[in-house]
Structure 1
Amino acid sequence: MTKRVEAKHKIDRRLGVNLWGRAKSPFNNRNYGPGQHGQQRSKPSDYGIQLRAKQKLKGYYGNISEKHFRRLYQEAVRRRGDTSENMIDLLERRLDAVVYRMKFVATVFAARQMVNHGHIAVNGKRVDIPSYRLKDGDELSILGEMKENVNVLAAAQLGERDVPDYMDVDHKSMKGKFIRGPKFADVPYPVQMEPNLVIEFYSR
């Protein structure tokens, strides 16, 4: 178990938001930061605002590494069009993010674990790389006995979130299709995300 997974319940309180909109979030009961100075509030600088926006977006996708996150930013810059829109498109094409969006699991951390353990196939081929990038029209399926796993079946029934319209899912067969890359406005974030501030942070 990585430190990122062990610390996932602290992320909400550190950032001051219920990042994934979960009923079990500790932020629901203690809506201030951890530690003896957690309740102290100070006005952040422009840099602090940009940093927090980056931490929220990075944390939402399972607190992916800074090195990988910066690479995504660099690729978003190289692509044509709006850089912040490109960044969201790249993040939403990650295999672990799509497994989470399709409600095959309850959390993005569980999605990463499911992919790592080889329980997901893309277009019929097993893929065990969470950062694997999906293309429009790619089809996903859960492999073997994992289709009947109690946690997978429970995740499909969660009322905390819905499957977005840029993908299609059949929870009876545990299969789904990534229809298209989304625009920022299409992504059902439970909290306000500010990818434009993330771009400003890295372009300083």
Structure 2
Amino acid sequence: MSKRHNQKYKIDRRMGENLWGRPKSPVNSRSYGPGQHGQRRKSKVSEFGLQLRAKQKLKGYYGNITEKQFRRTFDEASRRKGNAAENLIGLLESRLDALVYRAKFVPTVFAARQFVNHGHVLVNGKRVNIASYRCKTGDVVEVRERSRSMALVLEALESAERDIPDYIDLDTKAMKVTFVRVPEFAEVPYPVQMEPNLVIEFYSS
């Protein structure tokens, strides 16, 4: 099992939830946390603990991005006009790796990051290999022609595991997706409950 798979499943076990809604998640058979203390009785979680968990869950969902990067995203969400929690989700969903994942070009968000880093993706016709690259409304993201026959891509596109959200427009045949609009929190198809408002409280306290 690769390090990335280990990390992904560890996050699921630690949170006690199937973060990505995958049938292979160990939480489906073992709902307790990893390690020798995983089955201990859970004590009441403090308000800070709830906020921390909400932050770790959201950060983990997007491929367990670094704390520095996540904090920077929060700072920008706070500076923007409007609801900070909505802004945070909008910024996270605008990431190139998130868009590649939503378009089902790859099976997992971890694979999306690697796929982008290895140069398999074009944005508006130009190769971009930065997973955190922020896409704008109207941007067209596509799989490079030489990468379209990869088994990883073909299997992911055929999978019925996830639905394509309304805020992107996918052309499956051309392996091309248009970022129609920045989504609102309610539109994002999270398999588990996310609480971005608690994330804002965590960093604001």
What is the TM-score with the length of structure 2 in the denominator?
0.96
Which 5+ residue runs of structure 2 have no aligned equivalent?
none
Determine helix, strand or coil for the equivalent of 2:141.
strand
Distance 2:56 2:106 in 1: 23
Counting matched residue pairs gives 203
The alpha-carbon deviation at position 5 of structure 1 amounts to: 5.8
**Identity over aligned residues, as a percent?**
66
Note the aligned Cα RMSD (angstroms): 1.2
The alpha-carbon deviation at position 146 of structure 1 amounts to: 1.3
Determine helix, strand or coil for the equivalent of 1:55.
helix
Structure 1 residue ranges, 4+ long, deviating more than 2 angstroms after superposition: 2-6
Query: In the alignment, does 2:117 pair up with 1:116?
Result: yes
The alpha-carbon deviation at position 82 of structure 1 amounts to: 0.2
Query: In the alignment, does 2:31 pair up with 1:31?
Result: yes
Distance 2:128 2:5 in 1: 21
Distance 1:59 1:4 in 2: 12
Distance 1:3 1:131 in 2: 21
Distance 1:29 1:10 in 2: 14
Whether the aligned pair in 2 keeps the contact of 1:4 and 1:63 (CA below 8 Å) is no
The alpha-carbon deviation at position 197 of structure 1 amounts to: 0.1
The alpha-carbon deviation at position 6 of structure 1 amounts to: 4.1
Determine helix, strand or coil for the equivalent of 1:173.
coil
What residue number does 2:7 align with? 7
Distance 1:109 1:73 in 2: 21
Query: In the alignment, does 2:181 pair up with 1:180?
Result: yes
Query: In the alignment, does 2:191 pair up with 1:197?
Result: no
What residue number does 2:61 align with? 60
Taking the TM superposition and a 5 Å limit, the aligned residue runs for 1:1-204 are 6-40=6-40, 41-204=42-205
Distance 2:43 2:187 in 1: 33
Distance 1:47 1:158 in 2: 38
Whether the aligned pair in 2 keeps the contact of 1:118 and 1:126 (CA below 8 Å) is yes
Determine helix, strand or coil for the equivalent of 1:168.
strand
Distance 1:61 1:82 in 2: 21
